[in-house]
A = this chain, B = another copy of it.
Amino acid sequence: MAVTRRSFLQSLGITGGAGLAYGAMSTLGLAPATAQVSFRSPAMGDLIGKVDGAAKVAILGGGPAGLCAAYELGKAGYDVTVLEARRRVGGRVWSVRNGTTETDLNGETQSCSFADGHYFNLGATRIPQSHITLDYCRELGVEVQPFGNQNANTLVNYQSATSISGTSVQYRAAKADMYGYLSELLQKAASRGALDDVLTRDDKEALSSFLRDFGDLSSDGRYLGSTRRGYTAEPGAGLNFGEHPAPFPMSDTIRSGLGRNFSFEFGYDQAMMMMTPVGGMDRIYAAFQREIGTQRIHFGAEVAAMRNTPDGVRVEYTQDGARKTLDADYCICTLPPNLVGRLANNLPADVLTALKAAIPVSSGKLGIEYSRRWWELEDRIYGGASNTDKDIAQIMFPYDHYHGDRGVVVGYYNTGRRHQAFESLTHRQRVAKAVDEGAAIHGEKYRRDIVSSFSGSWRRTKYSEGAWVGWAGSDSHGGEATPEYTKLLAPVERIYFAGDHLSNAIAWQHGAFTSARDVVTALHARVAA
């Protein structure tokens, strides 16, 4: 999909929201290599002398949006209370480790028994360099490390009507062959004069020089294989020059779809370097919790009602079997949009209708603990993912404990129909299916040395019931000002909505944080006015 040409100022014109203009205007005139929308945190002095100073804010949900809002408002002395239904913070940021216990909406209870220090992120697991998630890691002192989001040694395995069908091919070989043939073809077409109406002689010369290098072409412009494909016998010393496998034939390479996932690596939010916190993504929320103050977060608090009242908001919730009420000046609701309509509420009908346009997406992961790091020892894979058109979609390798005695492999991370093939299964059935598919890619060793496992499906996870949402009429990661989406950006009297679903980075923590910042900015502007 080519870029949507949408003017930033035009977007602002549509909204007219003070909070948005506030954040955005300060970026005008800046043109750093990668620009950030600037944000000024509310500060302790801002509220001095204000009637509504130190307003009381009820925050529903202790995930990224809720904790970010609580943290930022706390900087100015707001009296924030976070209601969180779970016994932990983080929401869909969920690092599963020894002791994690969960009963899913299928009624099955799993307990994780990974060895100490091992985990996998069942939700968010990687951070692009541009996302403000990294700024919070810096601000909160959460140590980060690289996340392997690309690896030439991982495998692709796809079905096709070619000789390559069902064959596991290293990414490096797939790339070398595709780029080789691509370059050979374009070189041939250009040298035949087929593009003389769009290419000057200088263009053609420069293009030819690029293609020779890009495709590793022979002096007569042909792709004959490349060391970039890798070796079946590693080169060493003396006269051991290594052994190259031959390239796949051109037609098979193209028709097999070996290159169908190449663009993942240069997507704006997936290109290396990618980062992740040391010890699990949930370390960010442990840090938020520490800064906010655990006493301000009420765990096990299931919200039942959320209503605007004549001079504030009233939230009703149950906690440990008791019904409780929280009155506040404002409410920030960060619950999943697909769950908000179930609350007793006095929201206008058009808001309730807008919430229904948020369609929950199926997704989830399976973590498999192996007692032997076969991916390093045999396949020489240090992080990254293998990709397939089987239901598992991908196998993600750990980015920690390199050279250790064990590790947790993510046996699938898939969405939509392919995830639905797993979400109704029992955990045991999920593992069986995932291991069968994984063994077809990485070989029989995939079945051995399995110590334990844990799986989760977000549609079947209480308090989420979706991995993220797609907006009816938009694509799955936002970027469209649909009427329903736009509707929910405005507060309903004293109730504000926030979350990644109200951002252009759906399913990313960055989306939740920027949404929370927008709401904090707007609410603070209102209080401090």
Given known pairs A2-B226, A239-B11, the reply for A379 and B263 (CB within 8 Å) is no
Contact with B along A247-272 (1 / 0, CB 8 A): 00011001101011011001110011
Q: Which of A42-50, A138-146, A414-422, A424-432 contacts B (4 or more CB under 8 A)?
A: A138-146
How far apart sit A378 and B31, CA to CA, in the bound complex (Å)? 11
Any B CB within 8 A of the CB of A15: yes
Please tell me which one of the listed residues B31, B225, B243, B262 contacts residue A2 in the complex, with CB atoms under 8 A apart: B225
**Nearest-neighbor residue (CB-CB) of A141 within chain B:** B403
**Which residues in window 269-326 of A have CB below 8 A to B?**
271-273, 275
Mark interface residues in A1-27 (1 if CB within 8 Å of B CB, else 0).
111111110011011010010011001
Taken together as a complex, chains A and B put the C-alpha atoms of A291 and B6 apart, in Å, by 63
What separation, in Å, do the CA atoms of A381 and B148 have in the docked complex?
A: 16
C-alpha gap A185/B3 in the complex (Å): 19
The answer to whether B504 touches A240, judged by C-beta atoms less than 8 angstroms apart, is yes
Instruction: Say yes or no: is A517 at the interface (Cβ < 8 Å to chain B).
Output: yes
Contacts of A268 in B (CB 8 A): 172, 227-231
Contact indicator A504/B242 (Cβ below 8 Å): yes
Say whether A228 contacts B266, CB under 8 Å: yes
In the complex, A202 has a CB within 8 A of chain B: yes
Q: Which of A29-72 contact B (CB under 8 A)?
A: 31-37
Give the docked Cα–Cα distance between A515 and B14 (Å). 68
CB of A153 closer than 8 Å to a CB of B: yes
* Selected interface stretch from A90-98, A108-116, A206-214, A353-361: A206-214
A148 nearest in chain B by CB position: B273
Chain B nearest CB: distance from A3 CB in Å? Answer: 4
* CA–CA, A481 and B175, complex, Å: 29
Q: Does A446 sit at the interface, judged by CB under 8 A?
A: no
Interface centre among A188, A260, A273, A403 (most CB of B within 10 A): A273
Copies of this chain assembled into the complex: 2
A222 to B216 CA separation, bound complex (whole angstroms): 26
Choose, from A73-81, A193-201, A458-466, the stretch at the interface.
Answer: A193-201
Q: Which residue from chain B places its CB closest to the CB of A223 in the assembled complex?
A: B2
Q: Which residues of B contact A230 (CB under 8 A)?
A: 34, 130, 268
Tell which of A176-184, A338-346, A364-372, A387-395 binds the partner. A176-184
Pairwise interchain contact A233-B37, C-beta atoms closer than 8 A: yes
Q: Are A35 and B232 in contact (CB under 8 A)?
A: yes
- Residues of chain B within 8 A (CB-CB) of A137 are 403
Residues from chain B with a CB closer than 8 A to the CB of A503 are 235-238
Docked-complex contact A266 and B203, CB < 8 angstroms: no
Q: B2–A216 contact, CB under 8 A?
A: yes
- A13 nearest CB neighbor, chain B only: B239
A182 to B257, CA, bound (A): 18
Contact A20 B515 (CB under 8 A): no
Q: Which of B214, B255, B379, B399 contacts A259 (CB 8 A)?
A: B214
Contacts of A254 in B (CB 8 A): 199, 203, 206-207, 210
Alpha-carbon distance A486/B148, docked complex (angstroms): 40
- A504-B130 CB under 8 A given contacts A151-B272, A266-B228: no
Interface residue from B178, B192, B195, B240 paired with A20 (Cβ < 8 Å): B240
**What CA separation (Å) do A186 and B194 show in the bound complex?**
10
| Bound-state Cα–Cα, A233 to B24, Å | 9
Greatest chain B CB density within 10 A among A17, A234, A399 is at A234
Of chain B, the residue at the smallest CB distance from A257 is B206
B272 near A238 with CB under 8 A, answer no
Instruction: Flag whether A451 is at the interface (Cβ < 8 A).
Output: no
Give the distance in Å from the alpha carbon of A254 to the alpha carbon of B205 in the complex: 9
Of B188, B229, B238, which one neighbours A489 at CB under 8 angstroms? Answer: B238
- A217–B14 Cα distance when bound, in Å, is 29
Distance between Cα atoms of A32 and B244 in the complex (Å): 13
Q: CA of A24 to CA of B143 in the docked complex: distance in angstroms?
A: 44
Given contacts A240-B8, A503-B236, contact A263 B214 (CB under 8 A): yes
With a cutoff of 8 Å between Cβ atoms, the chain B residues found around residue A223 in the complex are: 2
Find the residue from A176, A231, A251, A380 having the highest chain B CB count within 10 A: A380
The 9 closest A-B pairs by CB, nearest first: A194-B194, A189-B189, A236-B514, A152-B271, A237-B515, A237-B503, A237-B514, A146-B146, A11-B239
22 CB-based A-B contacts, threshold 8 Å: A2-B218, A2-B224, A3-B224, A8-B241, A11-B240, A27-B233, A33-B379, A37-B236, A130-B153, A146-B146, A146-B148, A146-B399, A153-B273, A185-B190, A206-B254, A206-B255, A206-B257, A210-B254, A236-B504, A236-B514, A237-B517, A273-B381
